[in-house]
Amino acid sequence: MGGSSGGSFDSSDIKRLEERAKQKLSEAKSDASRHVFISFDHEDLGEVNLLRGQAKNDKADLQFDDHSVKEPFDSTNADYIKRQIREKIDRCSVTVVYLSEKTAASKWVNWEIEESIKRGKGVIGVYKGDKAPTSAPLAFQQNGCKSVKWEHAALMKAIEDASKKR
Q: Is 26 part of a structural domain of the chain?
A: no
In a domain, residue 3? The reply is no
Residue 37 lies in a domain: no
| Residue 25 located in a structural domain | no
Identify whether 29 is part of a domain: no
Question: Domain for residue 61, yes or no?
Answer: yes
CATH number, domain at 57?
A: 3.40.50
| Percent of the residues in the chain that have a pLDDT greater than 70, as a whole number | 75
> How high is the pLDDT of residue 25?
53
Residue 120 lies in domain: 44-164
Number of domains in the chain: 1
Average pLDDT over residues 58-74: 60
| Mean residue pLDDT across the chain | 81
Q: What is the pLDDT of residue 66?
A: 65
Whether 154 is covered by a domain: the verdict is: yes
Note the residue count of the chain.
166
- Strands of the sheet containing 146-149, edge to edge, are 64-66, 34-39, 94-99, 122-127, 146-149
Q: How far apart are CA 118 and CA 59, in angstroms?
A: 35
Kindly state the helix (H) or strand (E) to which residue 156 belongs, with its residue range.
helix 152-164
Do the beta carbons of residue 102 and residue 44 sit within 8 Å?
Answer: yes
Highest mean pLDDT among 14-23, 50-59, 69-78: 50-59
Over residues 108-165, the pLDDT tens digits come to 999 999 999 999 999 999 999 999 999 999 999 999 999 999 988 888 899 989 988 7
What would the mean pLDDT of 35-44 be, rounded to a whole number? 90
Is residue 32 included in any domain, yes or no?
no
Confidence grade of residue 23 (pLDDT, cut at 50, 70, 90)? low
Confidence of residue 31 (pLDDT cuts 50, 70, 90): very low
Residue 98: predicted pLDDT: 95
Q: Please name which of 143, 151, 156, 155 lies closest in space to residue 112, comparing C-alpha atoms.
A: 143
Please tell me the pTM assigned to this model: 0.74
Q: How far apart are CA 92 and CA 68, in angstroms?
A: 9
Whole-number pLDDT of residue 110 = 96
